[in-house]
Structure 1
């Protein structure tokens, strides 16, 4: 690059023969004295070495010679000032190239170097060449780095040392030597050429943006050094970092052309800082919808507060993606779970509020709440310190009154809870390597369609994904693997949970989970749970098994289909009802369980694959389909595939409605449930009162609420062998458990019938 060629700029000052009125004995600024008519200066037209030259007698301690014209100093441009001089007589002075730095409005730019090292003249008549280089950047070989504030200079020389000597000076040359400072690849624009200092203190923001503006399609180069950027910097060019940058938390570095994590790691020299600043740019830049981690592993030493990384954003609802890399937790005290105990009061009429919370300021938002009558996955959604109130993500089923609660504050690799709302945020192809050191991620308290695609949540210490509010609305979890840190623990000793949800419309599809206490605890409605494989067994003979999926809430409107449920169960409960007794509504309703594989091995005989667990009295099944499933127990039979957990209450079988339980396959299951239930019954003695036992084969041990049909298989005969053509009337809900039916004939007969019995109406 040469501005004289490319832009026609003339840097060369006039020759001395054109007059000394443009050569100042001061700084060269307007009004300074010139050598025109000065007694100690004269033009010599014919010198043996120089031709025309200036003869100058040194008459002061510092004799200055400056061109009064303003030589432009452009960003990225480097000028060489060349002086050829020889001593003629008298005292021998020292000589150096010098200048005066001028800024906007003619102001002097203070604090910059304006002189080169001095050269002492030692012999009369010997020509000595003295040079100096001036430019905006602090580059190697630059004698006078003036930065971007200097717009021009008055250049010349200084004579120092004893006075009285006479020298002759050839015409001063100023040439553009920017090309000397260009790297081998001319496509690079060096930020130092635009005033970047790189001392870690000076604010180089303007220099970076100036270099970017001048790049014009070339790359911006940040050489070795530490560059402080005190303002937000938005670079449109591709940037290559050899040095590193530092910035305040609230200032952003936005790399448009090479927006990816490796570029930010090069820029900041620290993986965690780079991840934070890249995420900050993701939520503030408009040119990129995704942050590519570039396959890099980022070592995380402490929880990352994702909202604190973007302090100008309290909420966000534009689609953004982080993809393609690994985040790995480094063990340390920053991950230690904090536990607090506090007395508080719960009133079921105020379903999600704890009042009169002692030491509420110490209890963090996002902490899990435990105590008497507290269900699974209850969290602090928000708190009002002044009012002493905590808002929970869900009601408590039996905690009325005042008690001491325990609050567990787990530490998450990515903590989004600082956002008031976060929507349309995606994580793709990322492994969260928690190393039994931390949990995976904590969602914002509100927001829609948070999504994970093809991610690994590996060995979380406590939780994989935690929702403390509605930030899981419409969440998508597709093609992910959840790998427990408790694979070596027995089922009864496991505490970790892969994920929980509180809001509606979650799509859980084609995931795999291993050896958690629960794969998922899912409150809300309208979930689609499709094609997942989760297994939770151990090597304990006749051992207990926990639920893989827990659906919380009576009206579920849930589809559970084509899953592989391996050594665990599907549980349906209402443990998040503040008043768990049935007082109105639909009760346990709108559930479809179809075409799943249910497998267990070496389990206790009372284990079942589908469990309903009411927490209050009066509940009943009001719409449930269980079809096309494969139930198999190996290495020991189980009693039945379905049951009611009566730890708190049973079901009201009198109100069972719309229950379809058919087309399922059973292997290693003693009692094979159906509804409608087809029974073949043989009466060997004549009687007009046949009592037929359903043998517990109605689903969930239900009562016989009706007989759909009775068909004789062969003749009905009386005691003398005569054949009768009769139709009985039926009575349901017979026997002590009301699980039997009774056929009443007009006369005593014997024979075989097929009776179809229903547990519902």
Structure 2
């Protein structure tokens, strides 16, 4: 870069032989005295060393020599001023390059250095070269940094020291040496050319923005140093960070053309801080819809409070995504679970509130609630310290009265719970490597359509994704792997859960989930669970198994299809009902389980793949479809594929409606159940009443509530062999289990019939 060549700037002052009327004995400003006709100055036409030159006698304490013309100084340009001098006689002075800094309106720029290094002449006739560099920025080797306000200078030199001596001065040279400060083959604008100082304290926000304004398509360079920015800075060009920046938490660095994690990590010199500042910029519309981690690993020493990283936002509802990298938890006490025990009162009529909570100030929002009569995955959604009340994400099924509850605040890599609401936020192609130190994601109390796509949630200590409110509305979890930290543990010893959902419309699709205590608890309705493989076995012979998928609402309106459900089961429960006894509504209804592969091995014979567990009396099945599934047990038989867990209450099978359990296959399952159930009954001796016993073949141990058809297979005959053509009528719900059907004929007959009975109406 040379402005003399590229822009034709005139930098060189005229030679002395052209006349001394343009050479001032003052600062060089208009009106200052010149050396033209001065007795202390003379032109020498033929010096042996210099040829034509100026001879000057030092008569003042500081003898000035300045060119009256204005030598231009542009931002980013650096000028070298040189002169050759020798002493002729008298006292030996010191010599230095000097200049007067001027700005717009011919004003003087005060407070800047206007002299270069001084050289003392030590002998007569010895030629000494003096030089200094003048520029706008405080670059290395710059003797006179004038800042961006300077636009020109009156250049020259000073004689200092003893007076009376005579010196000769060769013509002064001014050259553009900006190229000395440029990287080879790079087009860069250096922030220090615009006044930035990397001392860690000077406010460099104006300099950064000035460099951005001047970049004109070039990249911006932040050289080595620590640059403090006390205000939000937006840079609209690519930026290269060799140095780092610091700034207040609430101020933002918006890198609109270099918006990626590697650049922010370089800018702040710290991965964790760089990630927080990049996220802050993402939520503040940094001209990008996603934060690209660039395939990098971000190491975290503690939980990231995602809202605290963006203090100017308490809610957000524009699509934003974090993508393409790995987040890794480093060991440390910052991940330790905080456990608080506190007495509180629960009233089922105010089903999501704990009142009169002792020590409420120490109970964190987002903590898991445990206690007598508390279902799984109940969290503190919010708290009112003044009123002594906690709001919960779900009701408690049997906790009326006052008791001591336990509150566990797990620590999460990404904690969004500080937002009041967050919608349309996604994480894709990211591995959340928890390393058994922490949990992965805690959602905001409200919001919709959070998505996790093509991600790994690896070894979470307690939870993969926790929803403490309705921030899970419409959640999408697709093509992810949840890898448990508890794989070596036997099933009863596992405590971790991959995810929970409180609101409606969850979509869990094509995920692989290994050996958690539970894969997912879904407390809302209208869910789709499809194409997943979740498995939870161990090596204990005849061992117990836990639920893989938990449906925690009676009217669940859910489809579970095309999954591989391995050594775990589907549990359908109402443990989040404040009044679990049935009083009104649809009861256990609207559930479709179709075309899944169910597999178990080395399990106790009472294990089942589908379990209904009512926490109150009076409930019944009302709209359930179980079709096209493959049930198989290896290394031992199981009694049945489905059952009712009566730990709290059974089901009312006198009210069962619309249950379809057909088209399934059973291998090493003793009870091949079906509804409608087709049974062959052979009556070998003549009787008026034939009792048809389905054995264990009605689903869930239901009653015989209907008969679709009865057809004779061959002749129906009397004991004497005479054929009869009359039809019997059916008496339903017979026997001690009310699952038998009596076929009553008009007379005693024998023969064989095929009967289709139902457990529903």
Class of the TM-score when normalised by the shorter of the 2 chains? over 0.9
Residues 553-568 of structure 1: matches in 2 within 5 Å?
553-568=553-568
Alpha-carbon deviation of 1:462?
0.3
Post-superposition Cα deviations, 1:197-243, rounded to whole Å, max 9, x if no partner, equal: 22222222333333333333332223222222333232222222222
Match of 1:6 in 2: 6
Task: Give the 3-state SS of the residue equivalent to 1:276 in structure 2.
Answer: helix
Give the TM-score, by structure 2 length.
0.96
Alpha-carbon deviation of 1:26?
4.2
Alpha-carbon deviation of 1:659?
0.5
Q: Distance in 2 between matches of 1:319 and 1:235?
A: 23
Matched, 1:46 2:81: no
Q: Distance in 1 between matches of 2:38 and 2:7?
A: 40
Q: Distance in 1 between matches of 2:15 and 2:732?
A: 123
Post-superposition Cα deviations, 1:572-631, rounded to whole Å, max 9, x if no partner, equal: 111111111111111111100000001101111111100111111111111010000000
Matched, 1:410 2:410: yes
Post-superposition Cα deviations, 1:90-115, rounded to whole Å, max 9, x if no partner, equal: 21100111223345666654554332
Change (3 A) 1:593 1:82: same
Matched, 1:377 2:377: yes
Alpha-carbon deviation of 1:380?
1.0
Q: Distance in 1 between matches of 2:106 and 2:534?
A: 76
Residues 316-715 of structure 1: matches in 2 within 5 Å?
316-715=316-715
Alpha-carbon deviation of 1:397?
1.0
Change (3 A) 1:342 1:70: farther
Match of 1:244 in 2: 244
How many pairs align? 760
Alpha-carbon deviation of 1:701?
0.8
Q: Which moved more, 1:42-51 or 1:493-502?
A: 42-51
Q: Which moved more, 1:744-753 or 1:175-184?
A: 175-184
Alpha-carbon deviation of 1:30?
6.3
Q: Distance in 2 between matches of 1:98 and 1:285?
A: 49
Contact 1:112/1:146, CA 8 A, preserved across alignment: yes
Q: Distance in 2 between matches of 1:329 and 1:105?
A: 59
Q: Distance in 2 between matches of 1:728 and 1:524?
A: 47
Matched, 1:35 2:34: yes
Give the TM-score, by structure 1 length.
0.96
Post-superposition Cα deviations, 1:338-372, rounded to whole Å, max 9, x if no partner, equal: 00111112111112111121221211111111111
Q: Distance in 1 between matches of 2:492 and 2:502?
A: 25
Change (3 A) 1:127 1:47: farther
Task: Give the 3-state SS of the residue equivalent to 2:349 in structure 1.
Answer: coil
Residues 730-749 of structure 1: matches in 2 within 5 Å?
730-749=730-749
Match of 2:147 in 1: 147
Alpha-carbon deviation of 1:568?
0.3
Q: Distance in 1 between matches of 2:604 and 2:151?
A: 86
Match of 1:66 in 2: 66
Q: Distance in 2 between matches of 1:281 and 1:222?
A: 19
Match of 2:185 in 1: 185
Contact 1:198/1:226, CA 8 A, preserved across alignment: yes
Q: Distance in 1 between matches of 2:114 and 2:624?
A: 88
Match of 1:165 in 2: 165
Q: Which moved more, 1:718-727 or 1:544-553?
A: 718-727
Alpha-carbon deviation of 1:28?
4.3
Change (3 A) 1:170 1:558: same
Match of 1:750 in 2: 750
Alpha-carbon deviation of 1:80?
1.2
Alpha-carbon deviation of 1:40?
5.5
Match of 2:204 in 1: 204
Question: Could you list the runs of 5+ residues in structure 2 that have no partner in the other structure?
Answer: none
Match of 1:115 in 2: 115
Alpha-carbon deviation of 1:52?
5.6
Q: Distance in 2 between matches of 1:106 and 1:551?
A: 80
Post-superposition Cα deviations, 1:450-474, rounded to whole Å, max 9, x if no partner, equal: 1111111111000011111111111
Q: Distance in 2 between matches of 1:571 and 1:90?
A: 107
Change (3 A) 1:93 1:587: same
Matched, 1:288 2:288: yes
Q: Distance in 2 between matches of 1:168 and 1:695?
A: 125
Q: Distance in 1 between matches of 2:341 and 2:72?
A: 71
Alpha-carbon deviation of 1:565?
0.5
Q: Distance in 2 between matches of 1:420 and 1:166?
A: 81
Post-superposition Cα deviations, 1:215-273, rounded to whole Å, max 9, x if no partner, equal: 33332223222222333232222222222222222222233333222222222221111
Q: Distance in 2 between matches of 1:248 and 1:14?
A: 51
Contact 1:13/1:67, CA 8 A, preserved across alignment: yes
Task: Give the 3-state SS of the residue equivalent to 1:606 in structure 2.
Answer: coil
Change (3 A) 1:25 1:395: farther
Q: Distance in 2 between matches of 1:760 and 1:401?
A: 39
Change (3 A) 1:6 1:582: same
Alpha-carbon deviation of 1:149?
4.0
Q: Which moved more, 1:105-114 or 1:658-667?
A: 105-114
Q: Distance in 2 between matches of 1:259 and 1:714?
A: 81
Contact 2:573/2:612, CA 8 A, preserved across alignment: yes
Alpha-carbon deviation of 1:124?
2.9
Change (3 A) 1:95 1:40: farther
Contact 1:572/1:613, CA 8 A, preserved across alignment: yes
Matched, 1:136 2:136: yes
Contact 1:40/1:56, CA 8 A, preserved across alignment: no
Post-superposition Cα deviations, 1:396-428, rounded to whole Å, max 9, x if no partner, equal: 111112211111000001111112222221211
Q: Which moved more, 1:487-496 or 1:9-18?
A: 9-18
Match of 2:214 in 1: 214
Q: Which moved more, 1:558-567 or 1:352-361?
A: 352-361
Matched, 1:233 2:224: no
Change (3 A) 1:108 1:446: farther
Question: Could you list the runs of 5+ residues in structure 1 that have no partner in the other structure?
Answer: none
Q: Which moved more, 1:144-153 or 1:310-319?
A: 144-153
Q: Distance in 2 between matches of 1:344 and 1:72?
A: 78
Change (3 A) 1:223 1:575: same
Contact 2:529/2:559, CA 8 A, preserved across alignment: yes
Change (3 A) 1:428 1:36: same
Post-superposition Cα deviations, 1:255-298, rounded to whole Å, max 9, x if no partner, equal: 33332222222222211112112222222234322222122112
Matched, 1:258 2:258: yes
Alpha-carbon deviation of 1:15?
4.8
Alpha-carbon deviation of 1:638?
0.8
Contact 1:40/1:59, CA 8 A, preserved across alignment: no
Q: Distance in 1 between matches of 2:365 and 2:20?
A: 79
Contact 1:16/1:171, CA 8 A, preserved across alignment: yes
Contact 2:255/2:286, CA 8 A, preserved across alignment: no
Post-superposition Cα deviations, 1:527-552, rounded to whole Å, max 9, x if no partner, equal: 10001001101111211110000011
Q: Distance in 1 between matches of 2:199 and 2:110?
A: 18
Task: Give the 3-state SS of the residue equivalent to 2:447 in structure 1.
Answer: strand
Change (3 A) 1:721 1:397: same
Match of 1:85 in 2: 85
Alpha-carbon deviation of 1:140?
2.7
Q: Distance in 2 between matches of 1:27 and 1:685?
A: 135
Contact 2:25/2:35, CA 8 A, preserved across alignment: no
Q: Which moved more, 1:14-23 or 1:680-689?
A: 14-23
